[in-house]
Structure 1
């Protein structure tokens, strides 16, 4: 089946057309649709089509799934996925539009192909992308497909995908990636979409402008200025990275520090002295899991290597793949790592402790899967192949951190640069298990960095325990936070200096926060004092009533709708 040998398949095929076998333990249909052998060879592809028709006629399960031995993940950029379906393979491995259509017509589910559009883009065949879109995948697949267009510099595919974006916000990741990758302004113009004014579009274009100034993409910045962007949206950190002299102390994030790796990787070595001077850390991994020193050694940039070492770069620090900048591999047993993950997901503190006793370096090890997560990342229950939050999740995190886990380590999930705290705050599993607040406390107690606007995430995801824990950790109490906490006394205090409809990050207002959290008394108080219930946020495009409804507060939503 993998070789496309139709006659031999028919000869070997028994009564059970879905019998599993081979190294991957897949069905014949999966091998036919997911083998790379003969890609681009019309005769081989035609043979695969004939075999698929035969198997489907005999009752083969079009939605059978097969695990990928390469340990991929659909939450990581690239072709690899955690498990394959025939539909996913037809797009990403065989690259056949006819095969995609055949499987879709036979009932192949797009739910079993969560990276279908991204894989179609990676095929570089416009016909495959058209066939994948015809299968009507969910809207969020467009986001990662547009990122792939930026990575591969495919404006034709991007032009087809942009009209399928659910909102301007869906365009932002691909747009920023295209700017970072220094793509031609024609691709950037496509990714901007139309110029119909809206608060959400304005927010996306402002984010793109900040990226253009950071990454020194003059043409992109000029284009965005014609659409209304200006330097007024730049933060002090943006200005400093862009080359301006800033006197005030800078609050730097991992994404800011990663600019150092970007500059070296793109050959902008002249920027390195300035970036080090403003405080960028040479020991922070970029979104691909490498350090500035890795890039400098690869570029044989001796002067830059010297500068990095003088600034404190660690010569023995490893990439996510376990390699130092000078090529030495440092690794632990993948099998033992998987056992540790099993213990974390099961909530077995004693089993995890025993493994760490046997192999202390496990706490620094990374998964062999493409997301390259550490064990601590698994406590966030987000984006990995095993997502579960047991009641003992805080104790698991405490054990890992006490043994030396890095609370601020990043991984390759969601485009790269994700840390444990951020992953946990956007996951439903800790929230549903009611361990999110205690996990925040454990992470922070052991040194997790809290960004200035970190608290906006649990407010938008209606996670009251996490909001309370972040406030305990020192996050400032604004009108938005006061409303999210349900504290009328704090709301009244904040209203003395803050307008009632003040828009915070993503245009969230106090009324949005109170609605999402279900605080009826705060909603009634704000409405009585003139809060506007028609305002929409720029991230999801919803009113306060929409937030209340989404998080199950239907009676409160009716009150807001009626106002």
Structure 2
């Protein structure tokens, strides 16, 4: 049976244990080393020794057996550093690595305790049979095996505080599965709800991102902070939620404090009183360094121009179905067809299935066939609101747009796809039938 590997075990202690076992059992040292490795769940002594050496050096734990995963994490780390996220910039500074793709890969390799990218890849390929506890825990998370994870934590209690790739701990990885049972287990076992990864991203950010009110309540009750920024100044869990118009979790997060208080958050929360209080003040456009939830969105720099701040707020109101805020902003000159960052107000409302916002924007004069951008650079270019309503299968929105004169024959600029084609590509059969 496997036994727990002490959190503070060192190579010196490990060698001493092996020698004592060899003497006690009157066996060769190599046999005692193998027996000790297997006792701790490792297939060989070299695997155990290498693992302990990396833990002793404070290295991050690799856990995903696909090498491409680490390449993507390197790309995301570089994007975050280029957005001036302090914790990400610090990783490059730590290893004197340039802010390049190659530099990012070197940082990821060094953070895992390897000299270069090739050595990290070699290690990752063998993870499935390595016996490493963190990788085993990740496998249980992926399988959503709550009982199995609990048993592993009984054996290795220190795993709750261990850090994996890009500084993600098990709580961060559990929150990404959206399985609230796993999150509750880790919180009960003492996981640090205040901890963020190299992007500053906490489990509470993930709850906002995935629209998980119950998870947010658990994390808030355990002391998770609402004022921590990730991926740029002002990138709090609430802002992450409102970026996607995740109203349900946003209400839970806002109850813990509206941070930051600017035109974005007021619009997304449909808080007209705050819009009036902020209008014309420096706070209206403050703390807008956050503009994308991950590196899949293109680079941008939010400005402090009052027009940009106002027009951006309109799109944040639209994606949250904040009809009162939409009316208030438009009455004060917000440009209905402005594409401030990756989407007009109508496109955002259509993409999120916000039929009330769609109807109000159309009543106010939004251009139903205006082409714009949306999502990542390889996703929406030259698309209309109808493309994105079709993509999401939002039938009420599709009907409202068609009634207002939306052209179902418009082709996007990247793929030449019509709204019906987008519906078909995304498996939205009812929307495809409506548009076909």
TM-score normalised to structure 1 length: 0.33
Q: Give the number of the structure with larger relative contact order, counting CA–CA contacts within 8 Å between residues 6 or more apart.
A: 2
